[in-house]
Structure 1
Amino acid sequence: MADKDVDDRWRGAAAPIVVGVTDDGASDPAVCWAAKTAARRGRRLRLVHGLDLVAVHSALGAYDVIGKGPTEHRRERGVQALAAARRLANALAPDLAIDLELSEANPVRLLTDASDSAHMVVLGATNGVGGVGHLGSVLFAVTAHGRGSIVVVRDAVADARARPYGPVVVGVDGGEASADAVAVAFAEADARRVPLLAVHSWSDLRFDCPAVLPDTFGGADFTSIGHRVVAESLAGWPEKYPEVEVIRRIYLSNPRRHLRQWSKTAQLLVVGSRGRGGITGLVLGSTSLFLVQRADCPVMVVHPH
């Protein structure tokens, strides 16, 4: 199946791929990744930049109207950033249809609203090690609150763009969010004509052998349970995508470690927005958050829609 024929349950064929463009170059890897994806799928690329002028006016008040104020400087930087992003995208895909949007809105609101009708929203992040701060508040908020598929491409994982034969890896835990991730992962693997690797860990806890299991878990056949969870989660999809080779990997614990390890050879890692149990009020599961920061390939966070 060609990329442009990807089955997306939530988006029409005309839905664009949206990229949040920054004025500091952090979004460049996202622009490159999105441009190639849009070109292969015959979709428009929509590059957006939010100025957040309400915040500027609140902070500066009357000072902003004296001379060529910060608002005008911010607007000029936004125009330049969008123009640079378009040049970058056109260099990779000369025939790609590209739309530019410079908005006065807050970028979080702009991108979150865009995610409701986009094929996917793609965000970039600069390299960094450690906490959420390295992602940036806008990226974290959109990844947590967006709808549909949100892809994070960090500059540290640029090499993953050169893995055309790497598998699509999906985290499977049996929950509702995981089910949505599985659906999207099958479509992505089919579009890319690569295998789908389904990874399941019996427990989110950290232990490596049954001998150290808590007494309440003693005797549990985690391998059989894991295979059953994966089989139930994947049910129906292999028939819909018969050309997708499915590989299953079952582990005892620590899904973060195993998913990150598989991300070293994957071209895309797909995860649900929340972990098993779907805790009310939890906008982004701990495993998903960890992988967005640490995975060695682009990460697609799939939200229930």
Structure 2
Amino acid sequence: MNSANSAAVVVGVDGSEPSLRAVRLAATEAARRHRPLRVVHGFIWPLLHVPVSPAPDAPPGAGLRRQAEELVAAAVTEAEATAPGLAVSGEIIDGEAAAVLVGESPTAALVVLGDRGLGGFSALVVGSVAVQVAAYADCPVLVARGTQRPDEPVLVGMDGSPASRLAAEFAAETAVARGAPLVAVRAYRHPASTGPGDMQPLVYDEEQLHAEEARVLAESLDGLTERHPELRLTRRAVHGRPGGVLAEASRAAQLVVVGGQGRGEVSGLLLGSVSQSVLHHAQCPVAVVRAAR
């Protein structure tokens, strides 16, 4: 995560309604964090060798680059209206949308984008650009989806992994900035194995298991309230599949924060199964926080 005070919040736009929702969310988040906002459009046409300038006899405003300039200008106007006084800039960058946003991420405080953009397949709940950026970005990624519920808490999924600890720090900062409580959730299904090759017991005490999971959750959050004294923190250990538990809890949350890859995930996956499940099924915006590669 880029911690420099000058690091901007970056929002990707393509002129679609989801991207305009992302602009409004990004502007609000940038204002809360006292960061500038950078509106970016990935302009893919030069890569496809498509003419981008208007034909000689074309009417005013014609041409693909001119259209891109207009959609960026409209997004900047939308951001300025959402957060008056916010420093907002816009830029067109030649390249495919996901690659452009990932390229922006090393120097960004946060990348924001819509859950789906123009040209997405209707069968996809979350578009491929959002999934790719969440998987490869070098800073937290915020995906605008679901319903805005500013009076509800921020939710963070915890599994004890380094990624979930980073997610907890980001969630705590966000909750404090929003003046919201933070609910930390640890979902479990069976007693954890104590070593490689250990068998999970077929019979176990549910109350004892719950108490143990609650203890592990508390340990994984140790020091969080000391680092964020204004934080109002609630811990919840819940029996169930992590993705399903977090998606259900998102119905009463303003934001769900997950680590990019958690404990037990296949090491080759850049975006873990739980974070992918939450991205596709959450009922509110989702932030994905990945450990540095």
**How many matched pairs?**
276
**Hey, what's the Cα distance between the residues in 1 that align with 2:64 and 2:151?**
41
Instruction: Verify: 1:243 aligned to 2:230, yes or no.
Output: yes
Greater helix share, 1 or 2? Answer: 1
Q: CA deviation at 1:223?
A: 0.8
Report the equivalent of 2:175: 189
Q: Aligned AA for 1:264?
A: R
Match of 2:210 among 211, 223, 227: 223
Report the equivalent of 2:35: 43
In the TM superposition, what are the counterparts of 1:1-305 in structure 2 within 5 Å? 10-57=2-49, 67=55, 73-126=63-116, 133-154=124-145, 157=146, 159-160=147-148, 163-203=149-189, 216-219=201-204, 221-305=208-292
Q: CA deviation at 1:65?
A: 8.7
**Hey, what's the Cα distance between the residues in 2 that align with 1:16 and 1:111?**
13
Considering only aligned residues, what root-mean-square deviation do their CA atoms show, in Å? 2.6
TM-score normalized by the length of structure 2? 0.85
Q: CA deviation at 1:224?
A: 2.4
**Hey, what's the Cα distance between the residues in 1 that align with 2:273 and 2:265?**
11
Q: Residues 71-120 of structure 1, C-alpha deviation per residue, up to 9 Å, x if partnerless?
A: x8331221111011111112212211111110112222210021111110
Q: Aligned AA for 2:203?
A: G
Helix, strand or coil: the match of 1:18? strand
Unpaired segments ≥5 residues, structure 2: 192-198
**Hey, what's the Cα distance between the residues in 1 that align with 2:37 and 2:188?**
39
Q: 1:202, 1:225 within 8 Å by CA — same for their partners in 2? A: no
Q: Aligned AA for 1:33?
A: L
Unpaired segments ≥5 residues, structure 1: 1-8, 206-213
**Hey, what's the Cα distance between the residues in 2 that align with 1:195 and 1:52?**
41
Q: CA deviation at 1:64?
A: 7.6
Q: CA deviation at 1:67?
A: 4.2
**Hey, what's the Cα distance between the residues in 2 that align with 1:277 and 1:27?**
33
Q: 2:32, 2:178 within 8 Å by CA — same for their partners in 1? A: no
Q: CA deviation at 1:54?
A: 4.8
Q: Aligned AA for 1:216?
A: P
The structure-2 alpha-carbon separation of the partners of 1:203 and 1:83, relative to structure 1 and needing over 3 Å to count, comes to same
Helix, strand or coil: the match of 2:63? helix
